[in-house]
Amino acid sequence: MVSSVAISSALAIAALIAWKALVPNYKTSSKSGRDGESKSVLITGYSEGSIGAALAHAFHAHGYIVFATARRISNIPARLQDLSRIHALELNVTDQTSINRAVTDITRHVDGKGLDVLVNSAGTMLSGLKLVHVDIDQVGKQCFEVNVWGPLRMMQAFSALLVKASEKDNGNATVVNLGSIIGEIWFAYQPLYAASKAALHTISESMRLELAPFRIRVLAVVVDAVQSNLQRNQPRFHANSDSFYAPIQEKIRDFVEGVVPHSETPTEDFAEQVVRDVEMGKEGKVWRGQGVWLIWFLGTIMPTRVSDWVFSAMKGLSGLRRVREASGSGTRKAGWSEKLEKWLEVLA
């Protein structure tokens, strides 16, 4: 009798341990759909085909209540709005009134439980710009509105709900900001986009320190080429024949049209990785997406003089220098480095 009780207890305990080991976070991956037990996540920049959409689906599959937001509600497919635990909301990250309205709606919905995860995915890419020609008021400020002030406004507005979530059961809340490799290295032709992402990385890292006492983690995902509409959504490139850069306009156009390489990471794989990062409690900068190691190498190991030289050769800036030099003196002999530059330019 006694031994059979002992054996069945031991089996029950072993089963429980195995269950815990094999199914980590089984509570959060519950697909019960009962709002009371699930964690919640708010995602900006949800439009069909975007990283935001893939993240919404991935968090949903992990059992989260998802607040999927886009600046135009019509961009959120109806089939998504029919899923339980997904709530579609209109939210324009550049409009404080719109953000405040979302805070009110979500506060009512989560009913005192707070918001567990905030994902800032809305963003805009600008390519083909040259700093000497940039229209600061029209283009520059708009880029920073979406990529820098947008995420900061969101973090400010939702901080109280994040703190609330971290207070329950000794829990944690997480902010995920989608940055870019371009914020970690310097390239020509994407100066404002790069500056906005560098600013976002710095804001993320400072926020991480400032929010640590409240057990709110801040994650800056340094993203490289992921399938999405980012490339298609950027403003079209207009060649300008009056520009200093007129001789290399076609080279710049090639850069703009191929800026997100074709061998990109599938959006679903990327989204799954980010959900895993959140569940594992990662914080600070994490590099994700295809090609991040190459960029990391170029940005941190390779001397700047070398990476500048390679980039300038491949992207036409060395060619432009040669055009300028030739118009000056006329009779110059190409040295070996010039030959290498031309070879790199053809290769690119």
Ligand X SMILES: *[C@@H]1O[C@H](CO)[C@@H](O)[C@H](O)[C@H]1NC(C)=O
Angle at 54 between CA 270 and CA 272, to 5 degrees: 40
* CA 141 to the chain's CA centroid: 20
Whether residue 175 contacts residue 219, with contact meaning beta carbons closer than 8 Å, is answered with yes
- Minimum CB separation of residue 173 from ligand NAP in Å reads 21
Distances (CA, A) of 129 to 96, 105, 125: 28, 39, 11
170 binds ligand X (CB under 6 A): yes
Q: Which does 170 bind (CB under 5 to 8 A by kind): ligand NAP, ligand X, none?
A: ligand X
- Minimum CB separation of residue 48 from ligand NAP in Å reads 8
183 binds ligand NAP (CB under 6 A): no
Cα–Cα distance for residue pair 116/67, rounded to 1 Å: 11
Tell which positions 196-235 bind ligand NAP, by CB under 6 A. Answer: 223, 225-226, 228-230, 233
50 binds ligand NAP (CB under 6 A): yes
- Is 197 catalytic? The answer is yes
- Which of 2, 4, 22, 72 lies at the binding interface for ligand NAP (CB under 6 A)? 72
213 binds ligand X (CB under 6 A): no
- Minimum CB separation of residue 30 from ligand X in Å reads 15
Whether residue 99 contacts residue 105, with contact meaning beta carbons closer than 8 Å, is answered with no
Binding mask 143-182 toward ligand NAP (x if CB under 6 A, else -) reads ---x-------------------------------x-x--
Q: Which of 78, 75, 188 is nearest to 130 (CA)?
A: 188
281 binds ligand X (CB under 6 A): yes
- Is 46 catalytic? The answer is no
Q: What is the largest CA-CA distance in the chain?
A: 104
92 binds ligand X (CB under 6 A): yes
Instruction: State which amino acid sits at residue 68.
Output: A
Nearer to ligand NAP, 49 or 247 (CB): 49
Q: Which does 172 bind (CB under 5 to 8 A by kind): ligand NAP, ligand X, none?
A: ligand X
Tell which positions 57-86 bind ligand X, by CB under 6 A. Answer: 71-72
164 binds ligand X (CB under 6 A): no
Q: Active site residue: 193, 245, 251, 315, which one?
A: 193
305 binds ligand X (CB under 6 A): no
Tell which positions 90-109 bind ligand NAP, by CB under 6 A. Answer: 92-94
What angle, 0 to 180 degrees and rounded to 10, lies between the N-to-C axes of helices 317-328 and 336-347?
140
Torsion of CA 83, 87, 93, 96, to 10 degrees: 170
Helices (H), ranges, the chain: 2-22, 51-61, 78-81, 96-110, 141-144, 150-167, 191-211, 230-233, 249-257, 267-279, 292-296, 304-314, 317-328, 336-347
Footprint of ligand X (CB under 6 A): 71-72, 92, 94-95, 169-172, 281
Catalytic residues, by residue number, are 193, 197
